[in-house]
Amino acid sequence: MERYKWNIKRLDTQSLNKDHVLLGLVGNAEVDTPMSKSNGSTSPFSRRKDTRLVKVGKIEIGSGRSIAIQSMAATKTQNIEATVNQIKLLTEAGADIIRVAVDSKADVVALAEIRRRTGDLNPTISVDLQENYRLAAEVAPYVDKIRYNPGHLHHHEKSKPIKDKVAFIAKVAAAHNIALRIGVNCGSVDPQKLLKFGDDDIGAMVESADEHCAMLENLGFTRYVVSLKDSDWRKVVEGNRRFSEMRPNVPLHLGVTEAGMPPEGIIKTRIAFEQLISEGIGDTIRVSLTLPFEDKGQEILAGREILRDIAAGRFRSVPPNFDEGLNIISCPSCSRVENEAFIELAQDIKVITKFAEKEDLTIAVMGCRVNGPGETDDADIGLWCGPTGVNLKKGEELVGHFPYTEIIPRVKTLLDETISEKS
Protein backbone atom coordinates (compact mmCIF):
# COMPACT_ATOMS: atom_id res chain seq x y z
CA MET A 1 0.00 0.00 0.00
CA GLU A 2 1.28 3.43 -0.87
CA ARG A 3 2.42 5.41 2.12
CA TYR A 4 1.56 9.08 1.99
CA LYS A 5 4.30 11.47 2.96
CA TRP A 6 2.40 14.51 3.99
CA ASN A 7 3.46 17.11 6.42
CA ILE A 8 1.65 17.27 9.68
CA LYS A 9 0.62 20.86 10.20
CA ARG A 10 2.42 22.03 13.27
CA LEU A 11 0.17 22.71 16.20
CA ASP A 12 0.41 26.03 17.91
CA THR A 13 0.33 24.44 21.33
CA GLN A 14 1.81 27.55 22.93
CA SER A 15 -1.34 29.46 22.26
CA LEU A 16 -3.39 26.70 23.87
CA ASN A 17 -1.37 25.71 26.88
CA LYS A 18 2.28 25.89 27.86
CA ASP A 19 2.22 22.37 29.29
CA HIS A 20 2.86 20.23 26.25
CA VAL A 21 3.17 16.76 27.72
CA LEU A 22 3.21 13.13 26.65
CA LEU A 23 0.07 11.31 27.63
CA GLY A 24 -1.12 7.82 28.36
CA LEU A 25 -3.83 6.67 26.01
CA VAL A 26 -6.06 4.46 28.10
CA GLY A 27 -9.58 5.73 28.73
CA ASN A 28 -10.54 6.64 32.27
CA ALA A 29 -14.09 6.44 33.49
CA GLU A 30 -13.37 9.15 36.06
CA VAL A 31 -12.36 11.64 33.41
CA ASP A 32 -14.69 14.60 33.22
CA THR A 33 -14.67 16.29 29.84
CA PRO A 34 -16.23 19.68 29.52
CA MET A 35 -16.22 19.28 25.76
CA SER A 36 -18.43 16.26 25.86
CA LYS A 37 -20.19 16.40 29.17
CA SER A 38 -22.41 19.37 28.80
CA ASN A 39 -23.90 18.94 25.38
CA GLY A 40 -26.09 21.91 24.82
CA SER A 41 -23.59 24.34 26.32
CA THR A 42 -20.66 25.92 24.55
CA SER A 43 -17.21 24.36 24.84
CA PRO A 44 -14.33 26.13 26.59
CA PHE A 45 -12.10 25.28 23.63
CA SER A 46 -11.88 27.66 20.73
CA ARG A 47 -14.11 26.02 18.15
CA ARG A 48 -15.68 27.10 14.93
CA LYS A 49 -19.10 28.47 15.59
CA ASP A 50 -20.01 28.99 11.98
CA THR A 51 -21.30 25.46 11.50
CA ARG A 52 -25.07 25.29 11.59
CA LEU A 53 -26.87 23.73 14.53
CA VAL A 54 -28.25 20.26 13.84
CA LYS A 55 -30.55 18.64 16.37
CA VAL A 56 -30.31 14.89 16.73
CA GLY A 57 -32.94 13.93 19.26
CA LYS A 58 -31.94 15.66 22.50
CA ILE A 59 -28.34 16.22 21.28
CA GLU A 60 -27.25 19.38 19.53
CA ILE A 61 -24.38 19.22 17.05
CA GLY A 62 -22.52 22.19 15.53
CA SER A 63 -22.58 25.93 16.12
CA GLY A 64 -19.90 25.65 18.82
CA ARG A 65 -21.83 23.16 20.95
CA SER A 66 -19.75 20.70 22.97
CA ILE A 67 -18.50 17.83 20.84
CA ALA A 68 -20.85 14.85 20.98
CA ILE A 69 -19.24 11.40 21.37
CA GLN A 70 -20.68 8.49 19.45
CA SER A 71 -20.27 4.75 19.19
CA MET A 72 -21.99 1.86 17.45
CA ALA A 73 -23.57 -1.36 18.68
CA ALA A 74 -21.39 -4.22 17.46
CA THR A 75 -23.91 -6.99 18.13
CA LYS A 76 -26.34 -8.39 15.58
CA THR A 77 -29.37 -6.08 15.59
CA GLN A 78 -31.72 -9.06 15.59
CA ASN A 79 -30.10 -10.30 18.78
CA ILE A 80 -32.31 -7.96 20.78
CA GLU A 81 -31.01 -8.90 24.21
CA ALA A 82 -27.37 -8.40 23.20
CA THR A 83 -28.06 -5.10 21.43
CA VAL A 84 -30.05 -3.74 24.38
CA ASN A 85 -27.04 -4.61 26.54
CA GLN A 86 -24.71 -2.80 24.12
CA ILE A 87 -26.87 0.31 24.32
CA LYS A 88 -26.89 0.13 28.13
CA LEU A 89 -23.13 -0.35 28.23
CA LEU A 90 -22.47 2.55 25.84
CA THR A 91 -24.95 4.80 27.65
CA GLU A 92 -23.25 4.07 30.96
CA ALA A 93 -19.89 4.92 29.35
CA GLY A 94 -21.34 8.32 28.40
CA ALA A 95 -22.24 7.93 24.71
CA ASP A 96 -24.20 10.90 23.37
CA ILE A 97 -25.35 9.05 20.25
CA ILE A 98 -25.44 5.30 19.58
CA ARG A 99 -25.60 3.90 16.08
CA VAL A 100 -27.24 0.64 15.09
CA ALA A 101 -26.95 -1.11 11.71
CA VAL A 102 -30.13 -1.94 9.81
CA ASP A 103 -29.99 -4.00 6.62
CA SER A 104 -33.39 -5.75 6.50
CA LYS A 105 -37.02 -5.52 7.58
CA ALA A 106 -36.25 -8.05 10.32
CA ASP A 107 -33.61 -5.59 11.64
CA VAL A 108 -36.26 -2.84 11.68
CA VAL A 109 -38.63 -5.04 13.72
CA ALA A 110 -35.78 -5.79 16.13
CA LEU A 111 -34.89 -2.11 16.39
CA ALA A 112 -38.48 -1.20 17.32
CA GLU A 113 -38.30 -3.67 20.19
CA ILE A 114 -34.83 -2.44 21.20
CA ARG A 115 -36.18 1.11 21.31
CA ARG A 116 -39.08 -0.04 23.50
CA ARG A 117 -36.80 -1.92 25.91
CA THR A 118 -34.34 0.97 26.27
CA GLY A 119 -37.08 3.57 26.80
CA ASP A 120 -35.95 4.25 30.38
CA LEU A 121 -32.47 5.18 29.11
CA ASN A 122 -33.85 7.43 26.36
CA PRO A 123 -30.79 6.88 24.13
CA THR A 124 -30.22 9.03 21.06
CA ILE A 125 -30.16 6.48 18.26
CA SER A 126 -28.74 6.82 14.81
CA VAL A 127 -29.20 4.11 12.24
CA ASP A 128 -26.71 3.04 9.62
CA LEU A 129 -28.17 2.25 6.19
CA GLN A 130 -25.89 0.86 3.53
CA GLU A 131 -27.31 -0.49 0.28
CA ASN A 132 -31.04 -0.66 1.00
CA TYR A 133 -31.91 3.05 1.15
CA ARG A 134 -35.69 2.34 1.04
CA LEU A 135 -35.51 1.00 4.61
CA ALA A 136 -35.27 4.66 5.66
CA ALA A 137 -39.07 4.89 5.58
CA GLU A 138 -39.50 1.92 7.90
CA VAL A 139 -36.77 2.72 10.35
CA ALA A 140 -37.42 6.47 10.70
CA PRO A 141 -40.10 6.20 13.43
CA TYR A 142 -37.58 4.58 15.77
CA VAL A 143 -34.49 6.73 15.33
CA ASP A 144 -33.16 10.26 15.68
CA LYS A 145 -30.80 10.23 12.72
CA ILE A 146 -30.15 8.19 9.58
CA ARG A 147 -26.69 7.77 8.10
CA TYR A 148 -26.47 6.89 4.45
CA ASN A 149 -23.34 6.14 2.42
CA PRO A 150 -23.30 7.89 -1.00
CA GLY A 151 -20.97 5.16 -2.29
CA HIS A 152 -23.60 2.47 -1.74
CA LEU A 153 -26.65 4.13 -3.28
CA HIS A 154 -25.93 2.72 -6.75
CA HIS A 155 -26.34 -0.93 -5.71
CA HIS A 156 -30.17 -1.09 -5.70
CA GLU A 157 -32.51 0.14 -8.47
CA LYS A 158 -29.53 0.87 -10.71
CA SER A 159 -31.53 2.81 -13.29
CA LYS A 160 -32.98 5.24 -10.73
CA PRO A 161 -31.03 8.52 -10.49
CA ILE A 162 -29.09 8.96 -7.24
CA LYS A 163 -30.74 12.33 -6.67
CA ASP A 164 -34.15 10.64 -6.58
CA LYS A 165 -32.91 8.23 -3.93
CA VAL A 166 -31.52 11.12 -1.88
CA ALA A 167 -34.84 12.94 -2.29
CA PHE A 168 -36.61 9.87 -0.91
CA ILE A 169 -34.34 9.73 2.17
CA ALA A 170 -34.66 13.50 2.76
CA LYS A 171 -38.44 13.39 2.47
CA VAL A 172 -38.58 10.58 5.03
CA ALA A 173 -36.26 12.46 7.41
CA ALA A 174 -38.29 15.68 7.11
CA ALA A 175 -41.58 13.83 7.65
CA HIS A 176 -40.25 12.18 10.82
CA ASN A 177 -38.41 15.25 12.10
CA ILE A 178 -35.03 13.52 12.21
CA ALA A 179 -31.49 14.34 11.05
CA LEU A 180 -29.29 12.79 8.37
CA ARG A 181 -25.60 12.06 8.03
CA ILE A 182 -23.91 11.91 4.64
CA GLY A 183 -21.29 9.31 5.56
CA VAL A 184 -18.57 9.09 2.89
CA ASN A 185 -15.84 6.46 3.23
CA CYS A 186 -12.72 6.63 1.11
CA GLY A 187 -12.79 2.83 0.72
CA SER A 188 -16.33 2.75 -0.66
CA VAL A 189 -16.52 6.03 -2.48
CA ASP A 190 -18.94 6.47 -5.41
CA PRO A 191 -17.35 4.57 -8.36
CA GLN A 192 -18.16 7.46 -10.72
CA LYS A 193 -16.07 9.77 -8.58
CA LEU A 194 -13.19 7.31 -8.51
CA LEU A 195 -13.22 7.21 -12.31
CA LYS A 196 -13.09 10.98 -12.41
CA PHE A 197 -10.40 11.46 -9.77
CA GLY A 198 -8.14 8.44 -10.35
CA ASP A 199 -5.47 8.30 -7.64
CA ASP A 200 -6.84 11.34 -5.85
CA ASP A 201 -9.27 9.38 -3.71
CA ILE A 202 -9.47 12.26 -1.24
CA GLY A 203 -10.69 14.49 -4.07
CA ALA A 204 -13.29 11.82 -4.92
CA MET A 205 -14.42 11.63 -1.31
CA VAL A 206 -14.69 15.40 -0.90
CA GLU A 207 -16.57 15.92 -4.16
CA SER A 208 -18.97 13.10 -3.33
CA ALA A 209 -19.77 14.72 0.03
CA ASP A 210 -20.11 18.15 -1.57
CA GLU A 211 -22.42 16.83 -4.27
CA HIS A 212 -24.73 15.23 -1.70
CA CYS A 213 -24.79 18.44 0.34
CA ALA A 214 -25.92 20.25 -2.80
CA MET A 215 -28.62 17.65 -3.44
CA LEU A 216 -30.00 17.99 0.08
CA GLU A 217 -29.83 21.78 0.07
CA ASN A 218 -31.57 21.97 -3.31
CA LEU A 219 -34.36 20.05 -1.65
CA GLY A 220 -34.43 22.57 1.20
CA PHE A 221 -33.12 19.98 3.69
CA THR A 222 -30.37 21.36 5.93
CA ARG A 223 -30.61 19.20 9.03
CA TYR A 224 -27.60 17.06 8.23
CA VAL A 225 -23.98 16.44 9.15
CA VAL A 226 -21.16 15.04 7.00
CA SER A 227 -18.38 12.55 7.66
CA LEU A 228 -15.32 11.83 5.52
CA LYS A 229 -13.50 8.78 6.82
CA ASP A 230 -10.60 6.52 5.98
CA SER A 231 -8.34 4.12 7.85
CA ASP A 232 -5.39 6.43 7.06
CA TRP A 233 -5.48 9.36 9.47
CA ARG A 234 -3.72 11.60 6.90
CA LYS A 235 -6.59 11.21 4.48
CA VAL A 236 -9.06 11.96 7.26
CA VAL A 237 -7.21 15.16 8.11
CA GLU A 238 -6.77 16.27 4.51
CA GLY A 239 -10.32 15.33 3.45
CA ASN A 240 -11.93 17.16 6.36
CA ARG A 241 -9.73 20.22 5.90
CA ARG A 242 -10.62 20.46 2.22
CA PHE A 243 -14.32 19.89 2.84
CA SER A 244 -14.44 22.33 5.72
CA GLU A 245 -13.00 25.05 3.48
CA MET A 246 -15.63 24.37 0.82
CA ARG A 247 -18.60 24.17 3.17
CA PRO A 248 -17.68 25.82 6.45
CA ASN A 249 -21.27 25.81 7.67
CA VAL A 250 -21.76 22.02 7.56
CA PRO A 251 -21.17 20.24 10.89
CA LEU A 252 -18.58 17.46 10.68
CA HIS A 253 -18.58 14.03 12.27
CA LEU A 254 -14.92 12.97 12.63
CA GLY A 255 -13.53 9.45 12.72
CA VAL A 256 -10.71 7.22 11.51
CA THR A 257 -12.53 4.17 10.25
CA GLU A 258 -11.10 0.66 10.73
CA ALA A 259 -8.46 2.20 12.98
CA GLY A 260 -7.82 -1.26 14.42
CA MET A 261 -7.08 -2.38 17.96
CA PRO A 262 -5.81 -0.39 20.93
CA PRO A 263 -3.37 1.15 21.38
CA GLU A 264 -2.56 1.76 17.69
CA GLY A 265 -6.21 2.45 16.79
CA ILE A 266 -6.45 5.08 19.51
CA ILE A 267 -3.15 6.68 18.48
CA LYS A 268 -4.18 7.00 14.81
CA THR A 269 -7.49 8.53 15.85
CA ARG A 270 -5.85 10.85 18.34
CA ILE A 271 -3.46 12.23 15.71
CA ALA A 272 -6.34 13.03 13.34
CA PHE A 273 -8.48 14.60 16.06
CA GLU A 274 -5.60 16.69 17.42
CA GLN A 275 -4.92 18.09 13.95
CA LEU A 276 -8.53 18.86 13.12
CA ILE A 277 -10.12 19.83 16.41
CA SER A 278 -7.26 22.16 17.28
CA GLU A 279 -8.14 23.99 14.04
CA GLY A 280 -11.75 24.17 15.16
CA ILE A 281 -12.90 21.45 12.74
CA GLY A 282 -15.24 18.75 14.07
CA ASP A 283 -18.57 18.76 15.86
CA THR A 284 -19.04 15.11 16.82
CA ILE A 285 -16.60 12.18 16.99
CA ARG A 286 -16.36 8.43 16.97
CA VAL A 287 -13.32 6.38 17.94
CA SER A 288 -13.62 3.09 15.98
CA LEU A 289 -11.83 0.22 17.70
CA THR A 290 -11.82 -3.53 17.23
CA LEU A 291 -12.80 -4.70 20.70
CA PRO A 292 -14.77 -7.55 22.31
CA PHE A 293 -18.45 -6.55 22.58
CA GLU A 294 -18.29 -6.17 26.35
CA ASP A 295 -15.43 -3.66 26.02
CA LYS A 296 -17.07 -1.31 23.49
CA GLY A 297 -17.42 1.37 26.16
CA GLN A 298 -13.67 1.95 25.69
CA GLU A 299 -14.49 3.78 22.45
CA ILE A 300 -16.35 6.42 24.45
CA LEU A 301 -13.70 6.64 27.16
CA ALA A 302 -10.92 7.00 24.59
CA GLY A 303 -12.87 9.71 22.76
CA ARG A 304 -13.50 11.60 25.98
CA GLU A 305 -9.86 11.44 26.99
CA ILE A 306 -8.69 12.71 23.60
CA LEU A 307 -11.13 15.64 23.76
CA ARG A 308 -10.14 16.46 27.30
CA ASP A 309 -6.45 16.50 26.38
CA ILE A 310 -7.01 18.69 23.33
CA ALA A 311 -9.10 21.09 25.39
CA ALA A 312 -6.26 21.32 27.90
CA GLY A 313 -3.64 21.77 25.16
CA ARG A 314 -1.97 18.46 25.99
CA PHE A 315 -0.93 17.05 22.64
CA ARG A 316 0.71 13.73 22.10
CA SER A 317 4.12 13.90 20.55
CA VAL A 318 4.25 11.51 17.59
CA PRO A 319 7.65 10.07 16.71
CA PRO A 320 8.57 10.58 13.05
CA ASN A 321 8.72 6.83 12.46
CA PHE A 322 5.25 6.14 13.96
CA ASP A 323 3.84 5.04 10.60
CA GLU A 324 6.78 2.89 9.58
CA GLY A 325 6.58 -0.87 9.73
CA LEU A 326 3.60 -3.20 9.66
CA ASN A 327 0.23 -1.46 9.61
CA ILE A 328 -2.74 -3.58 10.69
CA ILE A 329 -6.13 -2.04 10.04
CA SER A 330 -9.32 -3.71 11.21
CA CYS A 331 -12.95 -2.64 11.35
CA PRO A 332 -14.62 -1.92 14.68
CA SER A 333 -17.28 -4.61 13.92
CA CYS A 334 -21.01 -4.04 13.88
CA SER A 335 -24.23 -5.94 13.42
CA ARG A 336 -23.05 -7.03 9.98
CA VAL A 337 -20.12 -9.13 11.26
CA GLU A 338 -20.63 -12.52 9.64
CA ASN A 339 -19.02 -14.51 12.44
CA GLU A 340 -18.06 -13.35 15.92
CA ALA A 341 -14.75 -15.17 15.48
CA PHE A 342 -13.75 -11.99 13.60
CA ILE A 343 -12.57 -10.16 16.72
CA GLU A 344 -10.40 -13.06 17.87
CA LEU A 345 -9.10 -13.37 14.32
CA ALA A 346 -8.07 -9.69 14.26
CA GLN A 347 -6.29 -10.12 17.60
CA ASP A 348 -4.56 -13.33 16.42
CA ILE A 349 -3.36 -11.63 13.23
CA LYS A 350 -1.66 -9.01 15.34
CA VAL A 351 0.12 -11.69 17.39
CA ILE A 352 1.22 -13.98 14.56
CA THR A 353 2.53 -11.12 12.42
CA LYS A 354 4.72 -9.73 15.18
CA PHE A 355 7.80 -11.19 13.47
CA ALA A 356 7.11 -8.84 10.53
CA GLU A 357 6.56 -5.66 12.54
CA LYS A 358 9.36 -3.83 10.75
CA GLU A 359 8.03 -4.63 7.27
CA ASP A 360 6.41 -1.73 5.45
CA LEU A 361 3.19 -3.60 4.66
CA THR A 362 -0.51 -3.22 5.37
CA ILE A 363 -2.84 -6.02 6.46
CA ALA A 364 -6.59 -5.27 6.50
CA VAL A 365 -9.02 -7.42 8.51
CA MET A 366 -12.72 -6.74 7.88
CA GLY A 367 -15.83 -8.25 9.42
CA CYS A 368 -18.28 -8.65 6.54
CA ARG A 369 -19.09 -8.70 2.84
CA VAL A 370 -20.62 -5.20 2.83
CA ASN A 371 -17.35 -3.35 3.22
CA GLY A 372 -14.83 -6.21 3.26
CA PRO A 373 -14.17 -6.66 -0.46
CA GLY A 374 -13.69 -2.94 -1.24
CA GLU A 375 -11.94 -1.85 1.93
CA THR A 376 -9.24 -4.52 1.61
CA ASP A 377 -8.28 -3.61 -1.97
CA ASP A 378 -5.54 -1.18 -1.01
CA ALA A 379 -3.89 -3.49 1.52
CA ASP A 380 -1.01 -5.82 0.71
CA ILE A 381 -2.90 -8.64 2.42
CA GLY A 382 -6.64 -8.51 3.02
CA LEU A 383 -9.02 -10.71 4.99
CA TRP A 384 -12.76 -10.37 5.05
CA CYS A 385 -15.00 -12.64 7.01
CA GLY A 386 -17.88 -14.81 5.87
CA PRO A 387 -20.20 -16.94 8.03
CA THR A 388 -18.04 -20.09 7.89
CA GLY A 389 -14.75 -18.94 6.43
CA VAL A 390 -12.45 -16.07 5.62
CA ASN A 391 -11.66 -14.63 2.19
CA LEU A 392 -7.94 -14.05 1.82
CA LYS A 393 -6.64 -11.52 -0.69
CA LYS A 394 -3.27 -10.43 -1.96
CA GLY A 395 -3.77 -6.86 -3.09
CA GLU A 396 -6.97 -6.91 -5.14
CA GLU A 397 -6.69 -10.63 -6.02
CA LEU A 398 -8.59 -13.30 -4.14
CA VAL A 399 -6.21 -16.03 -2.95
CA GLY A 400 -8.99 -18.27 -1.62
CA HIS A 401 -11.72 -18.85 0.94
CA PHE A 402 -10.56 -20.75 4.02
CA PRO A 403 -12.23 -22.07 7.21
CA TYR A 404 -11.55 -20.05 10.38
CA THR A 405 -9.46 -22.99 11.66
CA GLU A 406 -7.10 -22.80 8.68
CA ILE A 407 -6.75 -19.10 8.01
CA ILE A 408 -3.88 -18.26 10.39
CA PRO A 409 -1.22 -20.52 8.74
CA ARG A 410 -2.45 -19.31 5.33
CA VAL A 411 -1.89 -15.70 6.32
CA LYS A 412 1.53 -16.52 7.69
CA THR A 413 2.55 -18.23 4.44
CA LEU A 414 1.21 -15.36 2.35
CA LEU A 415 3.01 -12.84 4.53
CA ASP A 416 6.29 -14.75 4.15
CA GLU A 417 5.81 -14.80 0.37
CA THR A 418 4.97 -11.11 0.26
CA ILE A 419 8.03 -10.19 2.31
CA SER A 420 10.38 -12.24 0.16
CA GLU A 421 8.89 -10.75 -3.03
CA LYS A 422 9.43 -7.26 -1.67
CA SER A 423 13.01 -7.99 -0.71
| Residues forming the site for ligand SF4 (CB under 6 A) | 331-334, 336-337, 366-368, 370-372
Closest approach of ligand SF4 to the CB of residue 334, in Å: 3
CA distances from 245 to 65, 217, 252 (A): 20, 17, 12
Of the two residues 274 and 378, which places its CB atom closer to ligand SF4 in the complex? 378
Return the H-helix or E-strand segment holding 276: helix 264-277
Closest approach of ligand SF4 to the CB of residue 222, in Å: 28
Of the two residues 47 and 152, which places its CB atom closer to ligand SF4 in the complex? 152
For the chain, give the number of residues: 423
Closest approach of ligand SF4 to the CB of residue 335, in Å: 7
Gap between the Cα atoms of 268 and 242, Å rounded: 20
Where are the alpha helices (H) located in 94-134, listed in sequence order? 105-117
Of the two residues 74 and 216, which places its CB atom closer to ligand SF4 in the complex? 74
Contact 301, 31 (CB under 8 A): yes
Q: Which residues of 303-314 are buried (b: 16+ CB within 10 A; e: fewer)?
A: bbbbbbbbbbbb
Closest approach of ligand SF4 to the CB of residue 154, in Å: 17
Of the two residues 16 and 254, which places its CB atom closer to ligand SF4 in the complex? 254
Closest approach of ligand SF4 to the CB of residue 367, in Å: 3
Closest approach of ligand SF4 to the CB of residue 234, in Å: 21
Closest approach of ligand SF4 to the CB of residue 104, in Å: 14
Strands (E), 27-121: 54-56, 59-61, 68-72, 97-101
Of the two residues 12 and 344, which places its CB atom closer to ligand SF4 in the complex? 344
Closest approach of ligand SF4 to the CB of residue 96, in Å: 20
Closest approach of ligand SF4 to the CB of residue 337, in Å: 4
Closest approach of ligand SF4 to the CB of residue 264, in Å: 17
Of the two residues 101 and 250, which places its CB atom closer to ligand SF4 in the complex? 101
3-class SS letters over the chain:
CCCCCCCCCCCCHHHCCCCCCCCCCCCCCCCCCHHHHCECEECCCCCCCCCCCEEECCEEECCCECCEEEEECCCCCCCHHHHHHHHHHHHHHCCCEEEEECCCHHHHHHHHHHHHHCCCCCCCEEEEECCCCCHHHHHHHHCCEEEECHHHCCCCCCCCCHHHHHHHHHHHHHHCCCEEEEEEEHHHCCHHHHHHHCCCHHHHHHHHHHHHHHHHHHCCCCCEEEEEECCCHHHHHHHHHHHHHHCCCCCEEECCCCECCCCHHHHHHHHHHHHHHCCCCCCEEECCCCCCHHHCHHHHHHHHHHHHHHHCCCCCCCCCCCCCCCEEEECCCCCCCCCCHHHHHHHHHHHHCHHHCCCCCEEEEECCCCCHHHHCCCCCEEEEECCCEEEEEECCEEEEEEECCCHHHHHHHHHHHHHHHHC
Closest approach of ligand SF4 to the CB of residue 369, in Å: 8
Of the two residues 310 and 368, which places its CB atom closer to ligand SF4 in the complex? 368
Of the two residues 77 and 371, which places its CB atom closer to ligand SF4 in the complex? 371
Of the two residues 216 and 337, which places its CB atom closer to ligand SF4 in the complex? 337
Of the two residues 54 and 334, which places its CB atom closer to ligand SF4 in the complex? 334
Of the two residues 216 and 334, which places its CB atom closer to ligand SF4 in the complex? 334
3-state secondary structure of 95: coil
In this structure, which amino acid lies at residue 198?
G
